[in-house]
Amino acid sequence: MKKYTIIALAGLTLASCKKQEGSINPVTPEGKDATITLSITSAANIGTYASTSGSHDGTANEKVVKTIDVFLYNEDGTLSPAGYKRFSEGEADLTTPKTIATKTGPKRIYVGINLPLSLANLLKDNYQAMQTPYAVNMNELATATNGLMMFNQGLASLEIKEGNHADNKITIPVTRLLAKAGVMQHENLSLNTQGGSVSNLQYTIGQRNKNIFVGHLYDFKDANWTYIDPKLAAAEYNAAFTGVLSTDYKPVDAKTATTETLNTVYIPENTSEKSEHSQVTYIQVKTKFTPAKIEAGATLPADGTFYVVFGQIGTDPYIHQLYFASKDAADTEAAKDKYKVIKNGEPVFQTAILTYNQGLCYYRLYLNEDQAAGANKVGIFRNTFFKAQISKFNGLGTPLEGQVPGGSGTPGNPGGGVTPPRPVDPEGPVNPGNLDASIEATITITPWTLITSEHEI
């Protein structure tokens, strides 16, 4: 009997982290007037997260509290509104408990920090609003001086007793509705790599989620899971992303940067169905690549544009990778007979040419590959700080922004008559550990408290 009891309790603990907002109590008639007193804390750790390292208290603006909204719902099968109050100006602080008028009976309690009034009104009138896709507005989620939006860390329920009862007290942890990331050079990073060197390292976000849930996730399903019913075995997945944020590049920080001085970006939650390249949010690293050797007697143009010929000779699988300052010279190399073979009675040149305009070269970093920040592989979870340290460049990146390394038109799959050395299906799942990628990094993750990781790219 004891064995079954332990198993049941373990299941309940897991459900509190991963499942929907808990089960709904049987119908209980509301009773008499009562008040509830809430204490609100800014959570350092998230219940669904695995082991993390480090700690980071956040910037001054990340701790600003301008408004506090408290929402109560009847936990009686209807989840109808049962009380609401907004605290602002001098009342909007986390140092003093908040008292809310309601009725006796079981209640669910939620707290929002720095919410737009329009969103607060939606939540006030309808419990389901917290599990309805909410369009990402980064200027609302993370203001320049008025703080970040926050919401309950998890489910909070309380049986309210009559009057100002001593038991009518609860502490509500809140977490920021965003993750954030910073990228820096590892102390052992060399900017020299196979075929050349990189400089002017910058980064931005790729495939940022267009929708979020205000309420915390259950079963690690975010707002892309457009139809969610806990009674069903599966949910419908319909992702909506913003592409690479090309105008928002930030410098990759130097080896000497501290966590407090990192150039960081904010990222909405994103948990994909299959952790595919086309579904997950990633870090896009941009560099200036300078070839170590080009054709004899040539110099690169002022803007740094160069051309790469990929060629195979006969049946040898080795791929020759040659750099050129002019397209004509690259074309001449690619047309040499040494690359020509006969396939199905027809001559085929086993060559391909990729153009690197202005010498720009791109790499991808995937966050949370080892699931240290949550069980969804490469998922982005709220209130998590990713610190990525680039430890190695393994060679040439992609010529275009947003390309998946190993996809068509990249060094891993250059096209033409070349047998792809490292082909990757852009619709396939991300390979953990960046084993076939051209960048290496280490990521440390903490729930606004810090995940550091190293990457080779």
State the pLDDT at residue 85.
Answer: 92
Compute the average pLDDT of residues 170-181: 90
All domains of the chain in start order, with CATH: 33-176 (2.60.40.2580), 180-290+358-449 (2.60.40.3690)
Confidence grade of residue 445 (pLDDT, cut at 50, 70, 90):
low
CA torsion angle 28 30 36 39 (round to 10): 40
3-state secondary structure of 128: helix
Q: What is the mean pLDDT of the chain?
A: 82
pLDDT of residue 265: 96
- The radius of gyration computed from the CA coordinates of the chain, to the nearest angstrom, equals 27
User: pLDDT tens for residues 372-421?
Assistant: 555 667 788 888 888 999 999 999 999 999 999 999 999 999 999 999 99
Closest CA to 380 of 226, 212, 264, 235: 212
pLDDT score at 443? 62
Nearest CA among 328, 331, 324 for reference residue 356: 324
The larger pLDDT score, comparing residue 31 to residue 316, is at 316
Q: How much is the pLDDT for 194?
A: 94
- What six digits make up the tokens of 451? 């995940």
CA distances from 296 to 108, 300, 322, 325, 351 (A): 74, 11, 12, 10, 20
Question: What is the average pLDDT across 358-367?
Answer: 94
- Paired with 113 in beta bridges are 68, 150
**Which uninterrupted H or E stretch holds 6?**
helix 2-18
Distance separating alpha carbons of residues 32 and 17, to the nearest angstrom? 33
pLDDT tens profile 288-307: 999 999 999 999 999 999 99
The residue with tokens 């891993």 is: 412
First to last CA, the chain: 54
Give tens-digit pLDDT for 207-234: 999 988 898 776 667 777 655 555 555 5
**Contact call for residues 295 and 329 (beta carbons, < 8 A):** yes
Name which residue leads in pLDDT, 351 or 23. Answer: 351
Q: Is pLDDT above 90 for 89?
A: no
For 58, the 3-state DSSP assignment is coil
Res. 23: pLDDT tops 90: no
Q: Which residue has the higher pLDDT, 55 or 403?
A: 403
Report d(CA 420, CA 436) in Å as an integer: 13
Does 206 have pLDDT greater than 50? yes
Using 50, 70 and 90 to split pLDDT, how confident is the model at 8?
very low
| Residues 6 or more apart whose Cβ sits within 8 Å of residue 369 | 377, 378, 430, 432, 433, 434, 443, 453
Q: Is it the case that residue 54 has pLDDT exceeding 70?
A: no
Give yes or no for a contact between 369 and 430, defined as CB atoms under 8 angstroms apart.
yes
Q: What is the mean predicted confidence (pLDDT) over 188-205?
A: 97
Please tell me whether residue 35 adopts helix, strand or coil conformation: strand
Give 260 or 362, the one with higher predicted confidence: 362
Q: Is the pLDDT of residue 317 over 80?
A: yes
